Structure 1
Amino acid sequence: MLSTLAADRARIADLDTQIQDLQRSLSVLQRERSLVQGRLDAYNYPVLTLPNEIICEIFTRFLPIYPKCPPLIGPLSPIFLTHICRGWRKIALSFAALWRATDISWNHSAPDVVSAVLSRSGLCPLSIRMDAPELNPDLDHYGPELLAAAIPHYTRWEYLTLHLTEHFTDANYPRIDGPMPLLQHLDLWLNGGSSYPVVSLRSGAPLLRTVILNDYAAAKVILPWVQLTSLTLTIIYLHECVPILQQTSNLIHCVLELCDSDDVVSDGAVTLPSLETLAIKELDPTTMEPINYLRTFIVPALGDLEVPERFLGLDPIDSLASLISKSGCKLHQVGITDSTLGLEAPFRAAFPSMQMLFIRPIVDDAESVASD
């Protein structure tokens, strides 16, 4: 028994010696670790020494060029930049221009997120986009709420794109009441038509110059047409375009994407004295009967024209010559779409000083084989 106790005492002394050695080794390692950590803490990474102005420029280049809208949330959004580090988050949240453009049609957007993002934009003019495609059914339910969250900032809207479904009815449509003094560009697409209230911007958008409308939107907006310099009307009949075009005397660029129709408009019904480019396009034709749509226009400043061959009527060369003669314009370039093989040579002979472009219709392999 006494020998066992003596052995235990000796073992305790040995263990104490080993513990002291390990503590001395641990103390050395801790001191070395502290020195290494101090060197790391004293090092400033170059990116963190950049002035805030440079960081803001990097943030700006991360996003699409204004007025193109980044998504509201996700890896390509301004919100993503707030998740990188504490310093960058502070810079991003205080940089108003970072939040001036946003696409609020994101699948998982929430009205409070829209409000927060637009509030961060300070006094900056805004670019707002809201699509409502069929592939995003969530917008049928949440769309009105998302748009309602953006409406308090309408006096700062500079570029506005709204593509709304028929679910935006008169009952749930967020009203836009009041002037938009900064609005320059409006792209409005409505589906369903009759359920929408009329939107009037006749005297409330003094800077509005560029407008894109589909047929339902054209029937539901009252705009300062005389101010416009660029107008696109799509999915629409020519006779529906005429009352609008008769008010747009300062147009410089015009695109008409027309539905198939044999409607007839009187000669010279539309005079556009400043129009420089006119593109008339055909959407899903159901008939190939020729119709002379050029007879509708008097365009003395026209330089570039694009038109389907069918819209030149039974005598395409005479139709173009008549347009030039009655308008007194000097066309520089004419593009004829869906043209036939036999038209190119006579046109070049009749108008040798013009640059003529002939765009053939796309023929799939099955049709090509059948024609052979």
Structure 2
Amino acid sequence: MSTLADRAHVSPSESRCQEQHSPPALQSERKLVLEQPSKYPVLTLPTEIIIEVFMHFLPTYPLCPPLTGLDSPTLLTQICHEWREIALGTATLWRAISLNDHTIPFEHQAHLCNMWLSRSLCHPLSIDIYEDIVNPLRTAELLSALVLHRARWQHLNLHRLSISLLRMIEPGPTPLLRSLNLFLTDYELDLVTTTNVVFREAHLLRTVVLNDYAAEYLALPWAQLTALTLRGVFPRECVPVLQHASNLVHCELNLVNESVDTPDISLPSLQSLTLTGRSVTGYLETLIAPALLELEIPESFLGPNSIDTLTSFMSKSRCKLRALCITQYASVSRDLFYKAFPLIAVCFEE
């Protein structure tokens, strides 16, 4: 098989000179080398290896690449004929669809969406979509195309979605859905009924991220969740959710400051807890987490007697913490924490 290196060893002038003084057999061999088409070594790789290279070119699933541009699988269809055929025939390259680039004209974005849905065949899907607030009807059109494939939804990210659009996906099942990230806007809540939007038949759903409005107006199979993040919520808004999400293993709560007057909540399976937001003293003491191993909490959440608050919480929960991270650290001596909790890995983040 000839290569560019083979050709480089024979210049045109050398070829003419050697042609005149070489034996006929050598002339024929040299002619064969010069006339054979060159082939880049990468094109000699087995198709399975090329597909593996393609998969590493993209963000790790379920992260979504852009629809177009240098980081998109569409680029792989523009290199050469062989790569185009391989890319178009590899359904897993097209299973993560991001519809949040409003620099792409809507008609082209809709065309690309349908094309990716077709190329992904029957594979589970990761969907990432922002509502176009200027023209929500366009988002509705995209969402209506996606709803036809709801049985394949595996990871769903819905950003700044109005409740009317959210209701488009309410009636049917999502049997493969494993993770849901929903940021629900409030600009329609006074115009529509505020009855809960129910996700039905989502038996595999385990990981959920919600903002405050989504937490209030969404009904999920809370008891089957193992990871939950609530953003921008008041402590009182956490109560009904956490009371039903009794099997959580990981939980992150971004809290808005208010006086805490909530009942105790038991989370028997919880292993890691992260609290963020503004100062909400007294909230930690309302949680009972006997299996807790890792705690991340701002110093301000602990009140003026940080060591006593943590000691009381651990005693009440009867947990055996392994790691403690104090964030927004400001005042209390680190040595006091090290001395009070010698068996716990303590760290500080300012």
| Deviation per residue, 1:274-312 (Å, 9 max, x gap) | 101001101xx4xx6x62111110000001111112222
Which consecutive unaligned segments of at least 5 residues does structure 2 have? 1-29
> Could you tell me how far apart the structure 1 residues matched to 2:337 and 2:316 are?
19
Q: Percent identity?
A: 43
Residues 105, 139 of structure 1: 8 Å contact kept? no
1:181 aligned onto 2:175: yes
Counting only pairs closer than 5 Å after superposition, residues 1-372 of structure 1 correspond to structure 2 as 39-107=34-102, 108=104, 109-132=108-131, 140=136, 142-165=138-161, 168=162, 170=164, 174-192=168-186, 194=189, 195=192, 198-201=196-199, 203-266=200-263, 269-282=264-277, 285=278, 291-360=281-350
Q: How far has the Cα of 1:238 moved from its partner? A: 1.1
Q: TM-score, normalised by structure 1?
A: 0.77
User: Aligned pair in 2 of structure 1 residues 187, 92: CA closer, same or farther (>3 Å)?
Assistant: same
SS at match of 2:216: helix
Query: Which consecutive residues of structure 1, in runs of 5 or more, have no partner in the other structure?
Result: 1-34, 361-372
Tell me the secondary structure at the aligned position of residue 356 of structure 1.
strand
Flag the 1:139–1:161 CA change in 2: closer, same or farther, 3 A: farther
Q: Given that residues 112 and 149 in structure 1 are in contact (C-alpha distance below 8 angstroms), is that contact kept between their aligned partners in structure 2?
A: no
Contact 1:293–1:313 (CA<8 Å) still a contact in 2? no
Contact in 1 for aligned 2:260/2:283 (Cα 8 Å): no
Offset of 1:171 from its aligned partner?
Answer: 7.3
Amino acid of the structure 1 residue aligned with 2:111:
D
Q: Is the 8 A contact 1:291 1:314 kept in 2?
A: no
Deviation at 1:114, TM superposition (A): 0.3
* Inter-partner Cα distance in structure 2 for 1:57 and 1:279: 36
Give the 3-state SS of the residue equivalent to 1:69 in structure 2: coil
Once the two structures are TM-superposed, the CA of residue 82 in structure 1 deviates from its matched residue by 1.3
The AA in structure 1 aligned to 2:183 is W
CA separation in 2, counterparts of 1:342 and 1:55?
A: 56
Q: CA deviation at 1:191?
A: 1.5
Supply the distance in 2 between the matched residues of 1:140 and 1:74 (Cα, whole angstroms): 25
AA aligned opposite 2:128: R
**In structure 2, what is the Cα distance between the partners aligned to 1:179 and 1:50?**
42
Output the amino acid matched with 1:181: P
**Inter-CA distance 309–190: structure 2 relative to 1 (3 Å threshold):** same
Query: Equivalents in 2 of 1:205, 1:89: separation in Å?
Result: 36
CA distance in structure 1 between the partners assigned to 2:129 and 2:165 by the alignment: 19
Q: Is the 8 A contact 2:140 2:165 kept in 1?
A: no
Contact 1:144 1:173 (C-alpha < 8 Å) held by counterparts: no
Instruction: Choose 307-316 or 339-348, whichever is displaced more.
Output: 339-348
Deviates more, 1:176-185 or 1:271-280: 176-185
Task: Tell me the matched-pair count.
Answer: 313
- 2: distance between equivalents of 1:235 and 1:262? 15
Distance 1:144 1:37 in 2: 61
Residues 118 and 46 of structure 1: CA distance in aligned 2, closer, same or farther (over 3 Å): same
Instruction: Output the aligned Cα RMSD.
Output: 2.5
Q: In structure 2, how many angstroms separate the alpha carbons of the residues matched to 1:172 and 1:242?
A: 23
CA shift for structure 1 position 200: 1.4
Question: What is the TM-score when the length of structure 2 is the normalising length?
Answer: 0.82
